[in-house]
Structure 1
């Protein structure tokens, strides 16, 4: 009987241990499920915020914490010809009004802005009413991965070296691939598009694109953007005041023209 009691007690102890282990495993699993659910809810809220901001402002993307490729500092920042710091200035320097544009060549919201306002911006520049200061940004690379924003911006800087920035800038937006397709990471495509700008597709331009001559400068430009306080592309300012992306005060080509040409 004593031996039987020991056996029974031993089995009972094992059963209790098994039940306790099962409870512990269940508790651990529930905790893991709770953490995963919380993480999914957090990602859902973040996605919803980005979506709302995108709809409200008509922008392509909100900057992530990664800031694209801006964290890399290995390459030297070689500015393109005529650049002022990290800015590519276009138009007559004597123009009284200044439009400042932060753009990413992979950003669909930037393409939307360019498609709607391109002709108006060019006309105001040609008449000497307004100059434009372009800041090249790599938000999409940072948020979605890839290098198309960086490589396209470098190619645009190479076009600036040749005095053909505006024309090539327009070509890049007119031929912009889907945001999810990092086609501008293909440098051959960027060189092929240069053929649409008379006189741009030269050996010097090709070498500049292939070697990433201005990659470091583009990273520096994106770094300036991430520290600027602005977080979305496109960010458009007229004489330092944000004028694009407010649904309550929508901007139109006619309104932009009036803002630039009106006196006082």
Structure 2
């Protein structure tokens, strides 16, 4: 074989190796983006990968009336909906958007553990509802769903309805939760919730102003995205080693003192 042919084959092999390395790098970047989109709705990234950006300048707040807090709301400005006993030694603070797919992923993974711990009196969860995706993808589904959840709180049915909303979450770009009829239909999945009082609350947007106030508190808090999950003030959702089992261990250890 001539020296020229050997050089040509060697160059071809080198080009092929380079192309393979480029493809590996592209595949790695693609996997990273997919995993990132499934973990958290991070502010500043494109919505096309299921992640939303805080867009204060374009946040389309409704012309809501006074901030009417739902029954039993607590905390600063009565913006937290509590689930669990007041005397629990651990408190989990959760900021969520009902249109956020990462919030749904968190709920699916952690819900059984949260129910177990709150029912046992070992954990208290404080839910804060925001409308982050409304301001970035358009629509009012986050607002309408949050208002309906607050109406469910008035009826003492928040936790069950909250779970139904996430279980029935449409695609992030589908604003199906903007329809009051749909929200009332979903209330039929919670025993005793679909009442004239609940329907009136949903249709009148009784708690719209409260939802907007909660959203403003979220932005003022400088949080990185939804869901934001704080255990006794410490952001545990940023801890990639956190699991439901690990959360349970921490809460039970605190409960034992």
**Deviation for aligned residue 1:155:** 0.1
Matching residue of 2:40:
59
Matched pairs, number: 213
Pair 1:115 & 2:108 matched: yes
Structure 2: which 5+ runs fail to align? Answer: 1-28, 44-52
Matching residue of 1:93:
86
1:15-51 Cα distance to aligned partner (Å, 9 max, x none): xxxxxxxxxxxxxxxxxxxxxxxxxxxxxxxxx9xx8
**Deviation for aligned residue 1:71:** 4.3
CA distance in 2, matches of 1:251, 1:67: 34
Matching residue of 1:260:
251
**Deviation for aligned residue 1:75:** 1.4
Matching residue of 2:234:
241
Normalised by the length of structure 1, the TM-score is: 0.76
Structure 1: which 5+ runs fail to align? Answer: 1-47
1:152-204 Cα distance to aligned partner (Å, 9 max, x none): 00000000000000000000000100001000011100000000000000011
CA distance in 2, matches of 1:54, 1:216: 35
**Deviation for aligned residue 1:60:** 2.6
Matching residue of 1:175:
168
Spell out the pairing of 1:216-227 with structure 2 (5 A cutoff): 216-227=209-220
1:102-160 Cα distance to aligned partner (Å, 9 max, x none): 00000000000000000000000011100000000111101111000000000000000
Secondary structure in 2 matching 1:76? coil
| Pair 72,56 (structure 1): closer, same or farther in 2 beyond 3 Å | closer
Normalised by the length of structure 2, the TM-score is: 0.78
Q: Runs of 4 or more off by more than 4 Å in structure 1?
A: 51-54, 67-74
Is this contact kept in 1: 2:97–2:226, CA < 8 A?
A: yes
Larger radius of gyration: 1
Matching residue of 2:95:
102
Q: CA RMSD in A?
A: 2.1
Is this contact kept in 1: 2:38–2:101, CA < 8 A?
A: no
| Pair 171,126 (structure 1): closer, same or farther in 2 beyond 3 Å | same
Is this contact kept in 2: 1:77–1:214, CA < 8 A?
A: yes
Matching residue of 1:40:
none
Pair 1:79 & 2:69 matched: yes
| Pair 127,223 (structure 1): closer, same or farther in 2 beyond 3 Å | same
